[in-house]
Amino acid sequence: MPPNKSGLNVLSYENDDDLDLLYSFKKRGYRTTPILYVNGKQISPDLARKARPNQTLLSFLRDVLRLTGSKLGCAEGGCGACTVMISRFEKSNTASSNDEGTNDDNDGGAIKHYAVNACLMPVLAADGCHITTVEGVGSVKDDNLHPIQRAMVDMHGSQCGFCTPGIIVAIYSLLANNATTAHMEEHLDGNLCRCTGYRPIWDAARSLCSDIEDVCTNKVHEHMNAEMGVIRGPCGTPCRSCPERDSCEMDCNAKDKENGKTDQKEKSMENGGGAKSAPKENLCCSSSVDKMSSYQSVLPKDSASSWRNQPIDMFPDSLTSAPDSEIGMELFKPLLVVDSTAHGRSTWMKPTTILELLSLLRQYGESDNGCKIIVGNTEVGIETKFKHAVYPCLIYPSQTIDSLYDITITSTHFRLGACTSLGTVQQECERLIGNANVDRIAKPIYNMLRWFASTQIRNVACLGGNLVTASPISDMNPMLVSMNANLVVASISSISEGSITRRIIPVLDFFCSYRTVDLKPYELVECIDVPLTREIFEYVVPFKQARRREDDISIVTSGMRIILAPKESEHYVIEDMTLAFGGMAPTTIVASETASNLIGMPFCAQTFKKGGEILREELKLPDDVPGGQAEYRITVASSFLYQFFLTVATELKMDADKIQMDPIKYGISIPLPPLPLVEEEEMSGTQQFVSSKKPSSLGMQTYPTPKVVEGIEKKISPTPATAALQTSSNSLGKPLPHASAPFHCTGEAIYVDDIPTPPSTLHAFLLLATECDVTLKSINKEAALKIPGVVDVYTHDDLVKLGGENAIGPIMHDECVFLPVGEKIVSVGQVLGIVIGNSIEISEIGARSVKVEYGEKQVQTIVSIDDAIKAGSFYEFARHTLERGDVDSVFCSSDNKEEEKEPLSMQPRERVVKVEGSFRCGGQEHFCE
């Protein structure tokens, strides 16, 4: 391997230890060059070798390949601006094969497509995959917009366009999986848009779904209409509320008119609750000829197949080729990449067998630097980026290790490979709903996963990662605890040892304290075993309460399981119960006192009302509990318990009906006891969002016809300038596509962040105060300056030496560039200096290495206006007083009565109206009152 010290992105093995490592791994059959394909082409080995172990896919695409269409928004998997599609040839690893949206070959292998967040996915995790970026979807340059890009342009789906490439690829990936409108509405959940509004984006996304023709010909809507008792047009708007109803000749409208229905209540509701009727001159965006409707196909029927096959056509044959082909043989080898460049030494190992993986863990797990298993990187990525964790050795288990990725059903268990993506688990559980053996496990897992993060995160994150992370608000932990699930943990006793030892540990015991699990550094979680439930009278229900439904972490999360038994013909009795909660303690907890009080009791509302009281006591949180909202969290937890009763009561009725039909099959004698009484007004409690269908996102937008434009046109005599105005005025008020939209939709629009940095560009990172209300005692740059790649560190002293001006501010120069040593720090984040380095990462590491010494706290911390008044702390020097007129004299002259002309203070008390109160405004007008 050629030693290479020069380029920052070039891996180098000049170090003897690295060379030894490399040769020893080569002897073990490892390859050292990743195999990457982007937009249909293989990345040359020279470029592929620039992929670093701790580099994200986004950084590789943007900085190395200069594909800047994918954007960096939040950098933490929350916004979707970085979405790319990963396609991989996989053998089926599910309980039984599920062909939808895949391209199965005869061996059971298939090309699978996943939208992922490139800001979190390590570039080396894409080894052996085909990556499609927005540039690979279609382009303006080649006059080749993909239909989804065309639809997004025509339907006004982009405004600033920063989120658009990510949205295009997210939709493209769902279409590659043959999405129906319902599937699109369920899974397009990982992209945020700050400025366009989601209606046009949804319109565009739906317009290409596989069932859109049916939807347009009203088949699907007829069904919906029957369900909801409302006639809706193809745009989704109820006909009775449509401002264009009189001129509309659609069948659905004619039918509705024939029925003579004029439901004014519905009309006013649809118009926002206030409008009596929509003015005639308003046009409905969703059904005007200029605008596509919420459900509208945008393609001629015969064009359907060519673009639908694009993801498969672009997929490189070599990635599906036989294992004995050149690439095939390489792909089956484990991978080792070592980077000892200025980015910090790091190693990536991708073992292809469980034995090799366990021996790596044995070899390096307990060494000084340790090593970290990495799968989706949705936890580890956040830890390294935002919590500055450093993991110099990463182990990524290859998909060829079956036991880590398989999903199987045994006679006693539903077994989930620990590294299977949550998306695969969700898809498989959805398919297994209705399967008598696993229905009662598959349904709650599926329902919980629907609200777990986003499709992009679920496509890479795994169940093992969720459990090992040991987050107190993990969504899967409480549910698996309630199901009595176990982890299978594997290890080998020495590197030379060929046999694997396995131990079984209940999920509850595994999570032993805050962020700590019962797992040795050399151990691997191999799979999670969920015991099968009874076919009747056993129920599991998941609960989640978050600030928003999609893509948000829980405030309280729970899994509840119950077994009921008919007690003669009297009632059902609670035979067993587990109530597990997340968000109520540093670990997942089980409300065992509540459960033991309820076991043996009749299954009825009264029992659960009493149970709620016991639970409130058992889960009591102190007011100053970390995370806050103590009372709210307790209330949510106890409301979950009552909702559990209502939900189980509904399911019990279904079981009772089944048994009545065939008591012999279930071995239960009838008559069954009466079902528990549920009050009608409480039935809404059974409709939790966790298990409810996501509502269609439909919208109607009205806007006035620009009459004023006609007036202007008539008045203006044509001059060259007004002629131009006239031409443009023809466009006024019309929904013309945004001129830049095609460039947004293809990633060809260039944003500041996309401009290539000139060679040898230096990067800067600010040195910020981590404390406030203390004096800055000293700044020691020594450690930072020793870091290779850190060029210099500048503080106030340097500014003085250079003769620079330290006082800054827009009007008042009341802030400083760098705080001088000895001065008081007024806020956390105050700038103390700047670190210059060869890359942004190095500058950041440099900034973290500067030693800042703080003095003792001087005064009390002031965080509110009340604190400031109490401490007499005012910005006197910046006091602005606006005075106009004389209040007293105005009051005196406001009335003609002679006696009131004297100042207010001198008037008789009963005539003075005094208004008292206090006024606060927050945000930008802070500290004003």
Given the rule CB under 6 A, which residues bind ligand FAD? 76-78, 372-380, 382, 418-419, 452-453, 457, 461-462, 464-466, 468-469, 474-476, 524-525, 553
Q: Which residues are paired to 572 by β-bridges?
A: 566
787: exposed, middle or buried (Cβ count in 10 Å: 0-12, 13-18, 19+):
middle
CB of 166 to ligand FES, least distance (A): 7
Contacts of 267 (CB under 8 A, 6+ apart): 240, 241, 277
Q: Which CB atom, from 533 or from 554, has the smaller least distance to ligand FAD?
A: 554
Give yes or no for a contact between 105 and 216, defined as CB atoms under 8 angstroms apart.
no
Beta carbon of residue 519, minimum distance to ligand FAD (angstroms, whole number): 6
Q: Compute the distance between CA of residue 648 and CA of residue 642 in angstroms, rounded to an integer.
A: 10
Please state the closest distance from residue 816 (CB atom) to ligand FAD, in A. Answer: 37
Phi, psi of 540, deg, nearest 5: -125, 130
Residue 381 contacts ligand FES per CB under 6 A? no
For residues 519 and 510, give the distance between their C-alpha atoms in angstroms, rounded to a whole number. 8
Contact partner at residue 376 from ligand FES, ligand FAD, none, CB < 5 to 8 Å by partner kind: ligand FAD
Give the one entry of ligand FAD, ligand FES, none that residue 524 binds, where binding means its C-beta sits below a cut-off of 5 to 8 angstroms depending on kind: ligand FAD
Query: Is residue 195 part of the contact set for ligand FES (CB under 6 A)?
Result: yes
- Give the Cα separation of 633 and 69 in Å (integer): 42
Site for ligand FES, residues 58 to 87, rule: CB under 6 A: 72-75, 77-82
Residue 123 touches which of ligand FES, ligand FAD, none (Cβ within 5-8 Å per kind): none
With CB under 5 to 8 Å by kind, the binding choice for 465 among ligand FAD, ligand FES, none is ligand FAD
452 binds, among ligand FAD, ligand FES, none (CB under 5 to 8 A by kind): ligand FAD
Q: How many residues bind ligand FES (CB under 6 A)?
A: 23
Omega cis (within 30) before 671: yes
Nearer to ligand FAD, 493 or 731 (CB): 493
Report the partner that residue 457 touches, choosing among ligand FES, ligand FAD, none (CB closer than 5 to 8 A by kind).
ligand FAD
Question: Amino acid identity of 413?
Answer: H
438 binds ligand FES (CB under 6 A): no
Instruction: Residue 73: name its binding partner from ligand FES, ligand FAD, none (Cβ under 5 to 8 Å by kind).
Output: ligand FES
Does the protein bind ligand FES through residue 161 (CB under 6 A)?
yes
Q: Determine the Cα–Cα distance for residues 44 and 35; give it in Å rounded to an integer.
A: 9
Specify the residue for token string 């620009």.
Answer: 706
Nearest distance from residue 630's CB to ligand FAD, in Å? Answer: 21
Q: Are 157 and 343 in contact (CB under 8 A)?
A: no
Nearest one of 647, 643, 586, 587 to 615, comparing CA atoms: 643
Q: Which does 772 bind (CB under 5 to 8 A by kind): ligand FAD, ligand FES, none?
A: none
- Pick one of ligand FES, ligand FAD, none as the site partner of residue 139 (Cβ within 5 to 8 A by kind): none
Q: Could you give the CA distance from residue 224 to residue 790 in angstroms, rounded to a whole number?
A: 63
Residues numbered 174 to 193 that lie near ligand FES (CB under 6 A) are 193
Angle at 433 between CA 430 and CA 438, to 5 degrees: 115
**Options 160, 299, 433, 862; binder of ligand FES; rule CB under 6 A:** 160
Contact of residue 372 among ligand FAD, ligand FES, none (CB under 5-8 Å per partner type): ligand FAD
Q: Which residue, 588 or 638, has its beta carbon nearer to ligand FAD?
A: 588
> Reading across the β-sheet that carries 83-91, which strands appear in turn?
41-42, 36-38, 129-132, 83-91, 109-117
End-to-end CA distance of the chain: 69
User: Alpha-carbon distance 322 to 324, whole Å?
Assistant: 5
Contacts of 664 (CB under 8 A, 6+ apart): none
Is the CB of 115 or the CB of 784 nearer to ligand FAD? Answer: 115
Tell me the residue number closest to ligand FAD, measured at CB. 465
Phi, psi at 260, each rounded to 5°: 65, 30
Residue 154 binding partner per list ligand FAD, ligand FES, none, with a CB distance cut-off of 5 to 8 Å that depends on partner kind: none
Nearer residue to ligand FES within complex by CB, 159 or 486:
159
Instruction: Return the amino acid letter for 774.
Output: V
Among 158, 477, 686, 746, contact with ligand FES (rule: CB under 6 A) = 158
For residue 386, state whether it binds ligand FES (rule: CB under 6 A). Answer: no
Instruction: Write down the number of H helices and E strands in the chain.
Output: 36, 30
The total number of residues shown for the chain amounts to: 929
Closest CA to 39 of 117, 126, 102: 126
Nearest to ligand FAD of 382, 630 (CB atom): 382
- By beta-carbon proximity to ligand FES, the closer residue of 82 and 508 is 82
Asked if 162 touches ligand FES (CB under 6 A), the answer is: yes
Which helix (H) or strand (E) segment is 60 a member of? none
For binding to ligand FES (CB under 6 A), which residues are involved? 72-75, 77-82, 117, 119, 158-164, 193-196
